[in-house]
Structure 1
Amino acid sequence: MTGPIRVAIVDDHPVFRLGMTGLLESLPGVLVVGQAADADQARATITADVDVVLMDLHLGADSGIELTREILRDHPGVGVLVITMSDDDEAVVAAVRCGARGYLLKTAGPDEVERAIRAVANGEMILGPQVAARAMSTLVSGRTAVRLPFPELSAREREVLDLVARGHDNVAIARRLVLSPKTVRNHVTTILTKLSVSSRPTLIVRAREGGLGGPDPARVTGQA
């Protein structure tokens, strides 16, 4: 590609964004063109002019998986490089399935980050050494990576959905997760929207079909 590699950083930790910006701006031919702490800021920052997005998977209440899918739907030419603390197989599979071109851990060194950014900008697929080693171990041992249920949801939303599927109402879920009932209600509403489901009973069926919820859930009494 001609011109500098234009990079946007999406991470909810300001110290990480600051440090990563300093690293990238020290690299020849790399230009940081934007930063975002959450999904709303990312939507306002990322355009088709961005070449690579450094994406954390956990953005507070937002899901980096869902945001990656949204970015690639709106700007298919953008390359997403996930850089996160999560090294489990489910997260890697979910990221690749939604279109990410690379996956690094935040323990990666400067050389690894530079190599990954240049590879993703060039249209290549790249996994960090630790992630690649886990993937190879899975292949060699014959294990099948576990599918992350509902990757479009954030970790908190999946937690709420699991409790909904077990039959807990919003008040009970709020007690379990130490949240306010209003926050739980907002989460449930967001989940209904993301999964294109119109009612709580239908949501429970969908969640159980996806593998969430216990075998003998209690009767649901709460409402979204």
Structure 2
Amino acid sequence: MSIRVILADDHPIFRQGLVHSIEETGEFEVVGVGGSADDAIRLAAEHRPDIALLDLSMPGGGIFAAGRIAADGTARHVAMLTVSENDSDVTAALNAGAIGYILKGVSAGELRRILARIAQGEAHITPALAAQVLKLMQAPKKAARSPIDDLTKREEDILRRVAKGMSNREIAEELELQEKTVKHYMTEILSKLHARNRVEAAIIAHEAWREP
């Protein structure tokens, strides 16, 4: 069964090429296409896709559309596709409910691989952008005890690999575990860290384990 995607971007030529690239292998089906935030919100409500892929700077704002779609629950997952590497845009997208922040320079094949992981609930952000977000999250005061301290040794092993950008499958192979076991551990890790997704967990890990 193909992964259903809606796409909203205000550049028609880019949008047409993107639809072709996403659907090329038959793994994905683009069920709705629009050029604005209003289009994205409407298409998500109409099609209930697996992924809402949104341009950041389209009319009405991709962040606004992401927030509405995430709040309404009209798409299983929300991802941004943008040229912006601005740290405030990244944090705004994550706070709005996006679990993917994809730069437009990626190849068609890499985009499909990223979308396939997002469809499984895995967050995506490049390590460079994660480092930028980390700087914003560093507060002048620190809690007496970090939630990292509550992790078991196995949970810490998994989180360290998440912080390196590894997928559940890659972690499972390296630690000789079942992928579903890693997913179970990730649920526990997110709960203990009070993190909404892998991106936030990775950022918390980078902050806790950074060199002094």
Q: TM-score, normalised by structure 2?
A: 0.60
Which deviations, in whole Å up to 9, do the C-alpha atoms of 1:183-221 show, x marking residues without a partner? Answer: xxxxxxxxxxxxxxxxxxxxxxxxxxxxxxxxxxxxxxx
1:144 and 2:139 aligned: no
Root-mean-square deviation (CA), in Å? 1.9
Larger Rg belongs to: 1
Against the structure 1 CA distance between its residues 137 and 58, is the aligned structure 2 distance closer, same or farther, given a 3 Å change threshold? closer
Q: After TM superposition, list the pairs within 5 Å mapping 1:79-158 onto structure 2.
A: 79-127=77-125, 131-136=126-131, 139=134, 143-144=135-136
Against the structure 1 CA distance between its residues 145 and 85, is the aligned structure 2 distance closer, same or farther, given a 3 Å change threshold? farther
Equivalent position of 1:42 in the other structure? 40
SS at match of 1:8: strand
Do the aligned partners of 1:6 and 1:32 also contact (CA within 8 Å) in 2? yes
Equivalent position of 2:50 in the other structure? 51
Q: After TM superposition, list the pairs within 5 Å mapping 1:1-224 onto structure 2.
A: 3-47=1-45, 49-60=48-59, 62-75=60-73, 77-127=75-125, 131-136=126-131, 139=134, 143-144=135-136
Q: TM-score, normalised by structure 1?
A: 0.57
Segments of 5+ residues of structure 2 without an aligned counterpart are: 139-212
Which deviations, in whole Å up to 9, do the C-alpha atoms of 1:55-108 show, x marking residues without a partner? Answer: 111113x11111100011112652111100101111111101111010111111
CA distance in 2, matches of 1:57, 1:138: 17
Q: Give the aligned residue type for 1:53.
A: A
Q: Give the aligned residue type for 1:21.
A: V
CA distance in 1, matches of 2:34, 2:75: 19
Q: Give the aligned residue type for 2:136.
A: T
CA distance in 2, matches of 1:108, 1:145: 26
CA distance in 2, matches of 1:77, 1:11: 17
Deviation at 1:29, TM superposition (A): 1.9
- Percent identical among aligned pairs is 34
Deviation at 1:12, TM superposition (A): 0.7
Runs of 4+ in 1 over 4 A off after TM superposition: none
CA distance in 2, matches of 1:26, 1:138: 33
Q: How many residues align?
A: 137
CA distance in 2, matches of 1:12, 1:56: 8
Deviation at 1:138, TM superposition (A): 6.1
Deviation at 1:49, TM superposition (A): 2.7
Deviation at 1:121, TM superposition (A): 0.6
Do the aligned partners of 1:90 and 1:145 also contact (CA within 8 Å) in 2? no
Equivalent position of 2:204 in the other structure? none
Higher helix share: 2
Do the aligned partners of 1:93 and 1:145 also contact (CA within 8 Å) in 2? no
CA distance in 2, matches of 1:72, 1:145: 22
Q: Give the aligned residue type for 2:49.
A: V
